[in-house]
Amino acid sequence: MRIFEKIMKATYKKHILNFKQASGTSRGVLKTKETWFLILNAEEKKGVGECGLFRGLSIDDRPDYEDKLKWVCKHIDLGLEKLLPELIEFPSIQFGLEMAFKSLESEDLYKLFPSKFTKGEDSISINGLIWMGSERFMKQQISDKIKAGFNCIKMKIGAIDFQTEINLIKSIRNQFSSNDIEIRVDANGAFHPSEALEKLKTLSDFDLHSIEQPIRQGQIEAMASLCENTPLPIALDEELIGVFSVTKKEELLQMINPQYIILKPSLVGGFAGSDTWINLAENQKIGWWITSALESNVGLNAIAQYTYIKQSNLPQGLGTGGLFTNNFDSPLQVKNGTLQYNNLNNWKFNL
């Protein structure tokens, strides 16, 4: 008997994560992050999944979100394979459901993809995230990340004066070459198409790894032109949100032909959705990496374990677990620019 046929109960709970420090993006300042948990119970077994809704960014940020969670709980006996297609427009619920079933079926509630990573024998190289803010605040973050052993940092740009941002990047390059510190920048769609190429040329003087989403998503022709003419590798991020069918995904990649894509499982349909994008990208020789989307440690844990088994050789975007005052204690820890799984630290997931 398959385990989902024994499920007696499915419930959901809302949780508001509070930032330790208000974090700036080109979309505004974040002080809280809403998330939802799916909890499955089958006889004496339990499964936990996180539906990482991202208000203002997720395609499933819509009024009937909680109604859909209720529907999932009511129809949980349909099982994962039948439920996922019904949730195509709710990628964060797809992810939470995949995670919950994986958790239910695992020997350990939190070890969804057992590996050298979960044994504590290997780690995942990650980028250190620099949030937007005043020049002084950003400089302090950069200094802290370098001291903490990161050799790849990612700067959010596009919210303060462009020349100030250039000066910050220049100050890093004056001290560290690209062999010492890899720099990625993320514009979150902040550049206007008419100015984007010129700004990319300016940024390219500093030997950056890449820029994420230089212009707002949905401007396919403009983005395709940028990717064709850019002096700096471009990574699509928001552009992937809300593209549901395999055909549409393939068409998007063929039309834009970016240098990289960035996968946030909560925003692109979980493990299955990420697998589809990865396969399509690799067929087209497009690079990729995986990023969390401000989930709690429960979601981050699942994303990290999935990321490890995909064996990408690029630094990943998984270092968000320490941002919140009310996160859940977990074995995840950031050390020397890597994400590690310390089995001496126990989980404390209490809602």
Catalytic residues: 156, 264
User: Please, which residues have CB within 8 angstroms of residue 278's CB and are 6 or more apart in sequence?
Assistant: 263, 288, 310
Q: With contact defined as beta carbons under 8 Å apart, do 302 and 274 qualify?
A: no
Map the chain to HEC letters. CCHHHHCCEEEEEEEEEEEEEEEEECCEEEEEEEEEEEEEEECCEEEEEEECCCCCCCCCCCCCHHHHHHHHHHCHHHCHHHHHHHCCCCHHHHHHHHHHHHHHHCCCCCCCCCCCCCCCCCCEEECEEECECCHHHHHHHHHHHHHCCCCEEEEECCCCCHHHHHHHHHHHHHHCCCCCCEEEEECCCEECHHHHHHHHHHHHCCCCCEEECCECCCCHHHHHHHHHHCCCCEEECHHHCCCCCHHHHHHHHHHHCCCEEEECHHHHCHHHHHHHHHHHHHHCCCEEEEECCCCCHHHHHHHHHHHHHHCCCCCEECCCHHHECCCCECCEEEECCEEEECCCCCCECCC
Strand partners, 313: none
In sequence order, the β-bridge partners of residue 24 are 29, 132
Among 291, 349, 350, residue whose Cα is nearest residue 320: 291
